[in-house]
């Protein structure tokens, strides 16, 4: 399966207009954003768990990264309410599910194999600071290492954003809205920009909260080679 797999091109997805597609497990549905591979894939998706649904126990051979958007995600390690950020490194395993139901933004097979540090950050563990280089922007760092940086950002109403992306980047709008190159982006809309791209945007009248990841597309070829070796 190939979805938005030309990583040299920018991609913008208005996810609220996308259908939910069934997964192999009852009660678990997905909105694919990009994908290379079938059930084992380098993939970025929004996943919805119905109440009392779960996936079978499985190993994340290529690592898993996710942000809980709604509800409470659960596995053997505990409960993860909305706003929780998690990184499960390559080789980790779990049995994910949700008793009350949840929605998560998840990325698979996008880790450096040497990145073996699990990350679990609840909303109250993530403090915000102003970005001295970008007026009107505050950020909450989530992860930095192995060529990538991940953060939550809040853009004040009307803030102008101009950010070079030598290693590519992507964002998911969490709340509020913005315009990127004249195109509107609202809650759960997703944008991916290629290596040597540039993020030029303007926050809406209510401001914009978003998840932002940069630098990671430089390692794309190695990720795809490791995935192909697994298939």
Model pLDDT for residues 135-162, shown as the tens digit of each residue: 999 999 999 999 999 999 999 999 999 9
pTM: predicted TM-score of the whole model, two decimal places: 0.97
pLDDT confidence of 123, banded at 50, 70, 90? Answer: confident
Burial label, 119 (beta-carbon count in 10 A; 0-12, 13-18, 19+): middle
Query: What pLDDT digit, counting tens, does each position of 11-28 carry?
Result: 999 999 999 999 999 999
pLDDT confidence of 166, banded at 50, 70, 90? Answer: very high
Q: Is a pLDDT exceeding 90 seen at residue 53? A: yes
Q: Is a pLDDT exceeding 90 seen at residue 73? A: yes
- Sequence-distant (6+) residues with CB within 8 A of 154 are 128, 137, 138, 139, 207, 208, 209, 210
* Alpha-carbon distances, residue 81 vs 1, 60, 69, 104, 150 (angstroms): 31, 21, 8, 10, 19
Mean local confidence (pLDDT), 70-89: 96
Please name each of the domains of the chain with its CATH number. 19-122 (2.60.120.10), 123-218 (2.60.120.10)
pLDDT confidence of 218, banded at 50, 70, 90? Answer: very high
Q: Is a pLDDT exceeding 90 seen at residue 230? A: no
Measure the CA angle with vertex 54, ends 48 and 57; round to 5°: 125
């Amino acid at each position: 399966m190939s979805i938005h797999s030309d990583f040299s091109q920018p991609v913008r997805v208005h996810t609220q207009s996308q259908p939910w597609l069934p997964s192999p497990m009852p009660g678990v549905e997905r909105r694919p954003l990009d994908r290379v591979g079938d059930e084992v894939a380098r993939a970025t998706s929004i996943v919805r768990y119905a109440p009392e649904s779960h996936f079978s126990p499985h190993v994340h051979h290529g690592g898993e990264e996710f942000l809980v958007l709604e509800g409470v995600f659960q596995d053997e390690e505990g409960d993860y309410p909305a706003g929780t950020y998690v990184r499960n490194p390559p080789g980790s395993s779990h049995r994910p599910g949700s008793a009350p139901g949840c929605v998560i933004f998840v990325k698979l097979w996008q880790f450096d194999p040497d990145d073996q540090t699990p990350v679990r950050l609840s909303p109250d563990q993530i403090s915000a600071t102003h970005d001295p280089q970008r007026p009107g922007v505050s950020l909450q760092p989530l992860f930095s290492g192995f060529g990538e940086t991940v953060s939550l950002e809040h853009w004040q109403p009307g803030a102008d954003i101009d950010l070079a992306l030598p290693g590519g980047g992507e964002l998911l709008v969490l709340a509020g809205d913005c315009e990127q190159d004249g195109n509107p982006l609202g809650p759960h809309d997703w944008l991916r920009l290629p290596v040597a791209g540039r993020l030029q945007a303007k926050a809406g009248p209510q401001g914009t909260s978003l998840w932002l990841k940069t630098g990671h597309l430089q390692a794309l070829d190695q990720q795809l080679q490791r995935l192909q070796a697994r298939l």
